[in-house]
Amino acid sequence: MCGGIGTRLWPLSRKSFPKQFLSISSLNKKSLLQNTQKRLEGIDNLIEPILICNKDHRFVVAEQMREIDINPHSILLEPFGRNTAPAILLAALKSLEIEDNPHLLILSADHQIHNDIKFRDLIEIGVSYSEKDKLVTFGVIPRSPEIGYGYIKSEKPFNLQNIEGINISKFIEKPNLETAKELIKDKSYTWNSGIFLFKAKTIINEIKDLNLEIYEACRKTFENSIMDLDFQRLDEKSFEFCPNISIDIAVMEKTNKGIVLPLDAQWSDIGSWKSVWENSRKDINGNVEKGNVLTQNTENCYLQSENKLLVTLGIKDLVIINTDDATLVADKNQSENIKDIVSELQIRNIKEADLHKKGFRPWGFYISILEDKRWQVKIIHVNPGAKLSLQMHHHRAEHWVVVKGTAQVEIDGKKTTLSENESTYIPLGSKHRLSNLGKIPLELIEVQSGSYVDEDDIVRFEDLYGR
């Protein structure tokens, strides 16, 4: 599942490119989504994944899987989020097209697990319970009193020397700090990881029995879905009737088939900048420094700057994130509350709440460098073999200057080829298309000018990507 927004990791994570697609791990340069898939390597009888994401992120998901040589069995596109119960049910319905009754391992794309071997071994144990029609969840052995996680109480304490599935007693919503301190004293409590394992028909039948409304809405959503290139678009009209509810509330709190296995594999839900700091390699002063950073008399901070030089002096326990268009300075211990800041930015219609300077497209990406009300300068990056849509703008003209590669340019039916240091002009209202027919990436500088230069001034006539 990779449909979240990750507002607590703003300004790196935004609606247009949320945290699951970011490279945050200190272990490698892969994104959280890519690491989620890669840590499963070595599990027997593993089939290609079913991915569920927001429709706006479909090309990012596909590209990130291509980068790690994974060809997903399916990519299901949600028109909007409806929490985990509908997403899991839709995946289960899809899985029955692959096998008669497969085991489903449900993973969120934004988790970090340092001990992959332990995790895979625990999955094998989980399969033995799934075979018995149990609904398996994985409870993380607490390392500290955390208020950002829900808790699971098992019927008896865990024995890590002899791991067994234990019946679930109850679920606890995110507690306050004092309650969390009391909970971790009891060895029968674990953090709720949101990782599940069960057979497809078992979870389908449980949802049908315990929450028929979800089942009927998802069944209609799935039946009315359509294929769009390599993606399966879930039916929006049917999906609107689906309750917004988690699998915990819809099923796990009600079922008599739920068991919990203790997960002790250095798991973390990368849900705040504090958790990113905790799960990153630190220097002798306890600092995590990424990018263009210089520190002096600085302790226990998370510091990241994409381009501009970030200098700190005489500070501690802060998070400072510097991007091209926004800077965050926060008390590390209050980083859970950044989501409230994002909400305020959205209320004020400040575009930095949701949008990056860098915009990803199925053909590559663009980076907005400079802009004003009547003009904008961008870097356009087009992947080898890719082409933009045949399009027209009502309110702006464009100048293109090729700085790398070779471009094929079509303007009102006339095609020309541009090499490095060559340029062209696209008049307002002209039908035009940009293509990279070469073997290396194409990069150009685009200068837009006109009365309106936002992204929605575009009319598409032909598009390889079905937009």
Q: Got the DSSP string for 95-164?
A: HTTTSSS-EEEE--TTEEES-HHHHHHHHHHHHHHHTTT-EEEEEEPPSS--SSS-EEEESS---TTS--
What domains does the chain contain, in order, with CATH numbers?
7-131+199-257 (3.90.550.10), 273-347 (no CATH), 358-460 (2.60.120.10)
Model's pTM, two decimal places? 0.85
Handedness of CA 400, 406, 410, 411 (dihedral sign): positive
pLDDT at 198 over 90: yes
Distance in angstroms (rounded) separating the CA atoms of residues 306 and 290: 8
Measuring CA to CA, which residue among 215, 216, 233 is closest to residue 225? 233
**Type of residue found at 282:** K
Cβ atoms < 10 Å from Cβ of 66: 11
pLDDT digits (tens, 9 = 90+) for 398-432: 999 999 999 999 999 999 999 999 999 999 999 99
pLDDT at 419: 94
Q: Which residue has the higher pLDDT, 466 or 189?
A: 189
- Phi and psi angles of residue 7, each rounded to the nearest 5 degrees, phi first: -65, -25
Q: Got the DSSP string for 256-324?
A: SSEEEEEE-S-EEE--SHHHHHHTS---TTS-EEEEEEEEEEEES-EEEEEEEEEEEEEEESEEEEE-S
pLDDT digits (tens, 9 = 90+) for 232-259: 999 999 999 999 999 999 999 999 999 9
Distance in angstroms (rounded) separating the CA atoms of residues 268 and 180: 17
Name the DSSP letter for residue 48.
P
pLDDT at 25: 67
5 pLDDT band (50/70/90 cuts)?
confident
pLDDT at 3: 66
pLDDT at 399: 96
265 pLDDT band (50/70/90 cuts)?
confident
pLDDT at 335: 87
Specify the 3-state DSSP secondary structure of 409.
Answer: strand
Distance in angstroms (rounded) separating the CA atoms of residues 63 and 231: 13
Distance in angstroms (rounded) separating the CA atoms of residues 392 and 467: 14
What rounded mean pLDDT belongs to the chain? 91
Q: How far is CA 389 from CA 375, 424, 463, 467, in A?
A: 22, 18, 4, 9
pLDDT at 142: 87
pLDDT digits (tens, 9 = 90+) for 9-50: 999 999 888 989 988 866 678 899 999 999 998 888 888 999
Q: Which helix (H) or strand (E) holds 401?
A: strand 396-404
Q: For the chain, how long is the longest CA-to-CA vector?
A: 75
Measuring CA to CA, which residue among 428, 424, 463 is closest to residue 444? 424
2 pLDDT band (50/70/90 cuts)?
low
- What does DSSP say about strands 423-426 and 396-404: parallel, antiparallel, or unpaired? antiparallel
Rounded to an integer, the average pLDDT of 200-205 is 96
pLDDT at 310: 96
59-63, 134-138, 219-223, 340-344: which range is least confident on average? 59-63
Long-range contacts of 211-216 (CB under 8 A, 24+ apart): 211/85, 211/243, 211/245, 211/250, 211/251, 213/241, 213/242, 213/243, 214/85, 214/86, 214/89, 214/242, 214/243, 214/245, 214/250, 215/89
Contact 259, 138 (CB under 8 A): no
pLDDT at 145 over 90: no
pLDDT digits (tens, 9 = 90+) for 364-402: 999 998 888 899 999 999 999 999 999 999 999 999 999
Q: Got the DSSP string for 70-103?
A: ---SEEEEESS---HHHHHHHHHHHHTTTSSS-E
Distance in angstroms (rounded) separating the CA atoms of residues 238 and 225: 9
First to last CA, the chain: 23
pLDDT at 279 over 90: no
Name the DSSP letter for residue 250.
I
Contact 361, 463 (CB under 8 A): no
Contact 321, 12 (CB under 8 A): yes
Burial letters 17-46, b for 16+ CB under 10 A, else e: bbbbbbebbeeeebbbbbbbbebbeeeeee
